[in-house]
Chains A and B, each alone.
Chain A
Amino acid sequence: MLFSLRCLVAFAVLQLFTVPSFAVSQINIEIGALSNDSIEARNADIQLNLKATPTIAFKTALKQPADKAWSQAQLRCQVPALWLQETWSCSDGKFTAARMSLPFVLDITPQPKGFVANLNLQGASFSDEAGLHAAEKLKGYLTIAVRQDGDTLHFNSALNWQSGEMFWQPLYIANGGHELQANGNLRSDILTLDTATLKLDKVGDLHFNGQVDTKTLKIQKLSADLPNLNLAEAYPLLFKPFLGKTLLNNAELNGKAALNVSMVDAQVKAFKVNLKDVNVDDKNHKFAFYDVNADMPWGYDDETKVHISYQHGQLLNMPLGRASISAQVNRYSLVAPEITLPILDGALKLSDISAARINDSWHWHLRAALTPVSMPDATRAFKLPIMQGKAAAEIPLVTYSGGILTTDGAMALNVFEGQVKVTQLTMINPLGKTPKLSADLTLRNLDLGSLTRTFSFGAIEGKLDGDVQDLEMVNWLPVKMDASLHSSPGKYTKKISQRAVENITALGGAGAAAAVQRSFLRFFEQFNYAKMGLSCKLRNDVCEMNGIESKQRGYVIVKGSGIPAITVMGYNQNVSWGELIGRIKRVIDGNTKAIVK
């Protein structure tokens, strides 16, 4: 039965219960130890009961030669009259080992050169030591027909998983209702599947065929087809467990997909992914794409064309309009002449796109142009105070390599009736947990009137220039910069309101404003000024502040002109960045009075 004829019988006792000796009713065979190259048995007990319905029962301890622990196996079968043709019904089957219990019943019918078997698992459970491959309360049945033909073993099998749960790192399957049908043969270690279908309940049907070397587990040939995959069910079950470190690890997906893959010699030769009306929604709200349709063929030997389109979406809260993307794929590289991604009322136009996958990571370069986007919409999207104006950009070269996005060119924002230019923009992991950004900014001729109205700062009339060098932001907060803001050169009206004076003074810390409050200057609603400026050198969370000129005890922020002339001084040279932000927030929230007093 379990042992080949090459078994080495080490110790055997044959007991015949022969009383009287001519009417044998039961034969007991006890075998102390038995072994061959692949399996060892001990304390085997075989009982042959020769009553009206003869039965054979065995119980034994088993193990592979390398194992330390012994497993227990037992089975009781009814012996049919024609025992080479009729069905053997076996019950009380059980295989028990450390962390494993497999109770089963088995029907087995001998066939010419083979057999047909029905194995019914009745609440099996197993686990490896680490608990990473385990199942509980498994119920299901396996039907298999095997026929030997020369050196080839043909089989037809159907596995039906009725109930029970399984964790097979990293996959978890909560319940049954899945089926596997496979027909094929085994010939000198090569397993050939002629047709096979895996039906995953609610997820879809996978049809596949191929050849695998059972010794090396190398796939020699595979063709797999998943024509109708329900992504809402498939994503948590099949995809999410493998996407742990990617951006897609916490998303909600729905829609349909069709997958098709062919492999030769363990290498993917071609695949095709089709998406139909798919919605992808990142639960961390970093991105979302709706009504995605895609046709993405890929071939190792052939150049292919991929098409992806979506109706709308968002990226870092920036609304994206309908887009249709086409690209040419040549093995591990991709080119596209032009892609237009509508953003708000403008569009990001990417051109001369080329990408290559080298050492498992993507490297991109492209030209980018942002056609004017309305600032009111953009600032609303970013939940900033609403700004007027337009933003546009022309970047001759954008490269993305190893998670780092660098730009060579300038983004221009026409805001507050002036210009803001962003150059040397670099981003590291923009969609990650700690996105990093570095850039240089130049601000020219910003209208202080609309700027102060937008940020609810006391009214100032005039124009502002600024330079922010070596700006470094982490998680969209500045950690390093050399920033200076100052009145633009040229002739224009320069007036500052009493409230703005209070607010600027409040930025310098409590106490400084008191001088203004106590003096007669508090009776004036606004003043003329000659120049204003403030700078911040931010390092290690400390802002080293300065104004337009240094004085013995501080620095001048606003230099008055005419009568009455007002001079606003700053006294804190080093201010904690957090404290400064807090002060600005309090000023904007209109709570300055509380601090000044």
Chain B
Amino acid sequence: MKKLLSGFVMIVSMFVANWVAAAADLEVNTPAIAALKASMQVRHGQLSTFYNSGAVGLTKDAFIAVKDATAVPLKDRGGLNSLVSAENADRANLYKEIATANGHPEWQADIQSTFASRWIDKAQAGWFYQSGGGWVKKWGLPQNGGQ
């Protein structure tokens, strides 16, 4: 009975999450969102080298993390860390602003989890993302250019 109930709760919560994702306009634009996206765009140019080398990977909660700092020369490691924390600050703000712009600040967590799979879908082959307890290299032919 307990199992049945928890299964039911899980299905309902999955449905709710999907419904939120479907209902929320993830492409909504406000000056705040535009400013955050512009700042992330500029940073992406610097981050993509780190994604390619496997120094940085995409986390399952829609952020990024230093996966292997040893892939980066010592002199760039401080920059790597500040780049990652600045990106994560922008991402957290972005999820919040998108939820606010949709008129539902309480959707932030669901919007964030939708973004998590979105970032991974958009990632280039060879980039790392978190799956289960570890890092997985995205399979596919390597491609050039931005995300």
The segment out of A79-87, A166-174, A360-368 that lies at the interface is A166-174
Q: Is the CB of B77 within 8 A of A245?
A: no
A137 to chain B, nearest CB (A): 10
By a CB distance below 8 angstroms, the chain B residues around A433 are 35-36, 39, 90, 93
Taking A166-B74, A167-B75, A541-B29 as known contacts, 4 extra A-B pairs with beta carbons closer than 8 A to each other, sorted by chain A number, are: A135-B74, A136-B74, A249-B82, A475-B34
Q: Which of B32, B35, B74, B78 contacts A170 (CB 8 A)?
A: B78
Confirm or deny: A165 has a beta carbon within 8 angstroms of a beta carbon on chain B: yes
* Residue-wise interface mask of A (434-453) relative to B, using a CB-CB cutoff of 8 A (1 in contact, 0 not): 10100000000000000000
Asked if B11 CB lies within 8 Å of chain A CBs, one says: no
The segment from A124-132, A255-263, A502-510 that touches chain B is: A124-132
Most buried by B among A130, A135, A474, A541: A474
In the complex, what residues of B have CB within 8 A of residue A130's CB? Answer: 66, 69
List the A residue with the shortest CB-CB distance to B67: A130
CB<8 Å pairs between A and B, sample of 12: A132-B69, A165-B75, A166-B74, A167-B75, A169-B78, A169-B81, A172-B78, A434-B36, A434-B93, A479-B30, A479-B31, A541-B29
Within the assembled complex, what's the spacing in Å between the Cα atoms of A131 and B77? 8
Size category of the A interface is 20 to 34
**B13-67: which residues lie under 8 A (CB-CB) from chain A?**
29-32, 34-36, 39, 66
B11 to chain A, nearest CB (A): 33
Residues of chain A within 8 A (CB-CB) of B106 are none
B contact residues around A169 at 8 Å (CB): 77-78, 81
- Does B85 have its Cβ within 8 Å of any Cβ on chain A? yes
B96 to chain A, nearest CB (A): 10
Q: For chain B, which range describes its interface: under 10, 10 to 19, 20 to 34, or 35 or more residues?
A: 20 to 34
Given contacts A167-B74, A167-B77, A174-B75, contact A541 B30 (CB under 8 A): yes
By the criterion CB–CB under 8 Å, are B69 and A131 in contact? yes
Q: Does A52 sit within 8 A of B, measured CB to CB?
A: no
Flag if A131 contacts B78 (CB, 8 Å). no
**A54: Cβ under 8 A from any B Cβ:** no
Q: How far is the CB of A83 from chain B (nearest CB, A)?
A: 41
- Taking the closest CB of chain A, its distance from the CB of B99, in whole angstroms, is 14
- Which residues of chain A are near B39, meaning CB under 8 Å? 433
A503 to B74, CA, bound (A): 60
Q: Which residues on A sit within 8 Å (CB–CB) of B32? A: 434, 436, 474-475, 479
**A167 and B31 within 8 A (CB):** no
Q: Is B86 an interface residue, CB under 8 A from the partner?
A: yes
Q: Given contacts A434-B32, A479-B31, is CB(A244)–CB(B86) below 8 Å?
A: yes
